Amino acid sequence: MSATSSRSSGAGRQADRAEPQAASNGSETPVAASYEAAVSELEQLVADLEGGKLELEASLAAYQRGSALLRFCQAQLSNAEQQVRMLEDDTLVELDDDDEPA
């Protein structure tokens, strides 16, 4: 396999990853199935980008997809934080020495 065909298969993988983002812009399709799936894909994208073997277009697509995944993760974390605050009535619960709520 030549370096060119190796790069094009990598670009294909990046294009495949970018498709759900396009769908999420105009519909209700989520960017990722879950927070964990988004983090996993984001880690792979970072590794691909840091590897330096992607062509320019594939790098841009990977960066764009990574940005969408990052926004998704931030929203998920913000929602979780809001739920915890609601559950705890916006107060911190101090733990005693046994690590159980006081």
Whole-number pLDDT of residue 66:
97
pTM of the entire predicted model: 0.61
Provide mean pLDDT across the span 27-54: 92
Q: Where does the pLDDT of residue 43 fall: very low under 50, low under 70, confident under 90, or very high at 90 and above?
A: very high
Q: Would the pLDDT of 102 be above 60?
A: no
Per-residue model confidence as pLDDT tens digits over 46-99: 999 999 999 999 999 999 999 999 999 999 999 999 888 888 876 666 767 665
- What's the pLDDT score for residue 89? 76
Q: What domains can be seen in the chain, in order of their start residue?
A: 3-87 (1.10.287)
Q: What are the pLDDT digits (tens) for 1-29?
A: 444 444 444 444 444 444 444 444 445 67
- In order, the DSSP letters of the chain are --HHHHHHHHHHHHHHHHHHHHHHHHSS--SSSSHHHHHHHHHHHHHHHHHT-S-HHHHHHHHHHHHHHHHHHHHHHHHHHHHHHHHTTT-PPPB-TTSSB-
